[in-house]
């Protein structure tokens, strides 16, 4: 059994806005057991979880994917996916037992008493209905009765509250006409439309850019506080959880391993898993570095630094510009879109250069030009002093092996029909590298390099975890002994602990093989851990370019400062961090 820490009421909002007795729990989950039936047997996703939420309180469940945090949340609103079933324990909401209650009763509760803000705004609004229609559904399903005019007024109010100006026009638009941030605002509006007592926010911002994330969370915080709504956050980001919730519940493999006031858990984690989580959280790690830095410690002791054998720049991008034609109507001609606008940077041999920016900033387009996968409209990429645009087909083929990419989605970049061996061997075979026996030996070596057993060779991508798949992608990139690896959001899709492991592996490989990394990311927290130099991009242009320390200690541009401020956990003032 795990240690159960007493769930305290410390940190309950003292704003006094909650209309109900604040000493009586709003939600009380006791010894909750949830299991899924699969082809290979029963999987216990949640095992004896205890969580208490008081009226008006904000509680965050923190854990990595597979920890059972989302499953627990789904059980509260009786929407467990697939074969999921509550097999034990109780969920009491506002004095009513929900486990085993008739479906109609739980349905009446949804939306009206318990609202939800889902994870991915892109997939959680039905693309074929207008935003206003989807708000109407929420209102009507929860007992709104009134004239058409009153309804329209209420819809506009809901969207306005959620921070969408010009709400009447917005209500007539479709989801695809909204940006991700606007969609999430609409979803928050829908979640709170019927004034629920509890709002479940399941990773409400993990699919959004950092600066948007901050705005949305700020808004969500103000709104729920004004309405006196209790919030149950589900997140994998400890920094974010600590910043946004008073009370933390840490889940690991279906169990609640620790719970208590946020600050206390950060300062003094008890459970080994929580300790690892606090130590690995990138947002907190950069905060820790900053604290240490201010205390006079040289950051080199904390941050990995590569000492390349050779010096000089391996990749030089000169005034790169990429213009895309956006197709207009048949006779209307096309408009131009400058994805990358006059971007220059240098990647030193054995160094790591981070290209940082939000989605749409042109960082991936720039990376694709460096890889030679896109032709620049103007400007040039020089690799080892040679302009890659002038290469003959044979030279271009040879150039390819010297620079290799690793992409964001390890699920998408490995062919599911290829065994791991075949995936890693493919580049070797393509470049006619050695005999079959030698190639097999090389694959073993590579697997060893990325700390995977040789037995993984015979397996297929679907049998591996996300982190393992990303290791395979790295092994494949290293197969041809490249000099430069382009890491396009290579760790963004991974859980924090796995992310930390992969970053460590990348650092080790850089040391051993003298690799140069071009690191594309939206996450400044990760940059702090790995990069030597940083290029900050915004709407295709470079806004700031300096060493990592300079950017973090003394950002010159407002945009960079916004990005830095948006790192979750950056606002945790005066917290003595553990580890």
Partner 1 sequence: MLSYLGRRILQLIPVFLGATLLLYAMVFLRPGDPIAALGGERGLPEATQEAIRAEYNLDKPFIVQYLLFLRGVVTLDFGVDFRGREITEVIANAFPVTMQLALMALVIEAVFGIGFGLIAGLRKGKFFDGTVMVLSLTLIAVPTFVLGFIMQIVVGVNLGWLPVTVGNNPDFVSLLMPAIVLAGTSFAYVLRLTRTSVAENSTADYVRTARARGLGRYQVTTRHVLRNSLIPVVTFIGADLGALMSGSIITEGIFNIHGVGGTLYDAITRGESVTVVAMTTVLVVVYIAANLLVDLLYAALDPRIRYA
Give strand pairing partners of 318. Answer: 380
Could you tell me the smallest distance in angstroms from the CB atom of residue 200 to partner 1?
8
Give strand pairing partners of 347. Answer: 315
Between 61 and 525, whose beta carbon lies closer to partner 1?
61
Position 330 contacts partner 1 (CB under 8 A): yes
Lookup result for tokens 């209102």 = 139
Could you tell me the smallest distance in angstroms from the CB atom of residue 155 to partner 1?
14
Integer Cα distance of 373 and 534 in angstroms? 23
The residue length of the chain stands at 579
The closest of 334, 322, 418, 426 to 378, measured between CA atoms, is 322
Position 205 contacts partner 1 (CB under 8 A): no
Could you tell me the smallest distance in angstroms from the CB atom of residue 190 to partner 1?
6
C-alpha 547: how far from chain center: 25
Position 509 contacts partner 1 (CB under 8 A): no
Could you tell me the smallest distance in angstroms from the CB atom of residue 126 to partner 1?
4
Helix residue ranges per DSSP H, 205-327: 210-227, 238-244, 262-267, 272-280, 282-294
- Pick one of 17, 92, 101, 141: the residue that binds partner 1 (CB under 8 A): 141
308, burial (CB in 10 Å: exposed 0-12, middle 13-18, buried 19+): middle
Position 193 contacts partner 1 (CB under 8 A): yes
Per DSSP, the three-state class of 207 is: coil
Maximum alpha-carbon separation in the chain: 78
Between 120 and 550, whose beta carbon lies closer to partner 1?
120
x/- map, 37-76, partner 1, by CB under 8 A: ----------------------------------------
Residue numbers 252-291 binding partner 1 by CB under 8 A = none
- Pick one of 115, 254, 348, 357: the residue that binds partner 1 (CB under 8 A): 115
Position 438 contacts partner 1 (CB under 8 A): no
The closest of 310, 352, 292, 485 to 406, measured between CA atoms, is 485
- Pick one of 17, 92, 101, 108: the residue that binds partner 1 (CB under 8 A): 108
* Contact between 258 and 250 (Cβ < 8 Å): yes
Query: Which stretch, 129-137, 219-227, 385-393, 462-470, contacts partner 1 (CB under 8 A)?
Result: 129-137
Position 302 contacts partner 1 (CB under 8 A): no
Could you tell me the smallest distance in angstroms from the CB atom of residue 224 to partner 1?
17
Compute CA distances 39 → 4, 27, 276, 461, whole Å.
32, 34, 33, 19
- Pick one of 55, 111, 228, 362: the residue that binds partner 1 (CB under 8 A): 111
Report the interface residues with partner 1, using CB under 8 A. Answer: 77, 79, 81, 107-108, 110-112, 115-116, 118-120, 123-130, 134, 137-138, 141-142, 174, 176, 187, 190-191, 193-194, 329-330
């Amino acid at each position: 059994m795990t240690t159960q820490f007493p769930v305290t009421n410390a940190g309950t909002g003292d704003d006094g806005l909650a209309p109900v007795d604040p000493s009586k729990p709003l939600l009380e989950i006791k010894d909750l057991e949830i299991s899924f039936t699969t082809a290979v047997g029963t999987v216990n996703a949640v095992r004896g979880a205890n969580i208490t939420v008081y009226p008006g309180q904000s509680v965050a469940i923190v854990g990595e994917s597979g920890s059972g945090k989302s499953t627990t949340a789904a059980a509260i609103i009786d929407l467990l996916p697939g074969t999921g079933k509550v097999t034990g324990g109780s969920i009491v909401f506002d004095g009513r037992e929900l486990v085993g209650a008739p479906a109609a009763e739980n349905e009446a509760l949804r939306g009206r008493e318990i609202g939800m803000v889902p994870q991915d705004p892109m997939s959680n609004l039905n693309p074929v209905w207008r935003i206003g229609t989807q708000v109407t559904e929420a209102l009507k399903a929860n007992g709104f009765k009134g004239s058409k005019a009153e309804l329209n007024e209420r819809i506009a109010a809901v969207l306005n509250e959620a921070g969408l100006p010009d709400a009447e026009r917005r209500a007539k638009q479709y989801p695809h006409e909204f940006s991700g941030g606007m969609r999430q605002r609409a979803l928050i509006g829908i979640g709170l439309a019927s004034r629920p007592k509890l709002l479940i926010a399941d990773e409400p911002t993990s699919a959004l850019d950092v600066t948007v994330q901050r705005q949305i969370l700020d808004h969500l915080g103000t709104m729920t506080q004004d309405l006196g709504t209790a919030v149950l956050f589900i997140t994998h980001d400890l920094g974010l959880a600590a910043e946004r919730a008073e009370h933390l519940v840490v889940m690991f493999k279906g169990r609640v391993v620790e719970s208590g006031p946020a600050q206390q858990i950060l300062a003094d984690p008890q459970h080994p898993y929580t300790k690892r989580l606090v130590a690995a959280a990138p947002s907190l790690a950069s905060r820790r570095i900053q604290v240490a830095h201010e205390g006079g410690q040289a950051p080199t002791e904390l941050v990995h630094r590569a000492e390349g054998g050779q010096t000089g720049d391996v990749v030089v991008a000169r005034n790169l510009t990429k213009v895309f034609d956006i197709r207009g109507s048949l006779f209307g001609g096309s408009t131009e879109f400058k994805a990358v606008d006059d971007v220059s940077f240098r990647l030193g041999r054995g160094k790591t250069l981070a290209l940082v920016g939000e989605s749409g900033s042109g960082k991936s387009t720039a990376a694709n030009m460096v890889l030679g996968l896109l032709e620049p409209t103007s400007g040039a990429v020089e690799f080892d002093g040679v302009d890659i645009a002038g290469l003959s087909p044979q030279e271009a083929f040879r150039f390819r092996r010297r620079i290799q990419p690793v992409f964001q989605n390890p699920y998408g970049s490995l062919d599911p029909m290829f065994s791991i061996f075949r995936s890693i061997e493919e580049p070797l075979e393509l470049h006619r590298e050695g005999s079959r026996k030698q190639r097999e030996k090389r694959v073993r070596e590579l697997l060893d390099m990325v700390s995977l057993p040789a037995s993984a060779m015979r397996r297929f991508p679907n049998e591996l975890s996300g982190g393992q798949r990303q290791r395979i992608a790295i092994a494949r990139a290293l197969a041809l002994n490249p000099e430069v690896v382009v890491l396009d959001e290579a760790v963004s899709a991974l859980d924090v602990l796995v992310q930390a492991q992969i970053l460590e592996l990348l650092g080790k490989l850089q040391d051993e093989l003298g690799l140069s990394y071009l690191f594309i990311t939206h996450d400044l927290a990760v940059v702090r851990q790995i990069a030597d130099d940083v290029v900050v991009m915004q709407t295709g242009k470079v806004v700031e370019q300096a060493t990592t320390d300079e950017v973090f200690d003394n950002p010159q541009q407002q945009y960079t400062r916004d990005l830095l401020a948006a790192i979750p956990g950056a606002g945790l003032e005066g917290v003595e961090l553990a580890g």
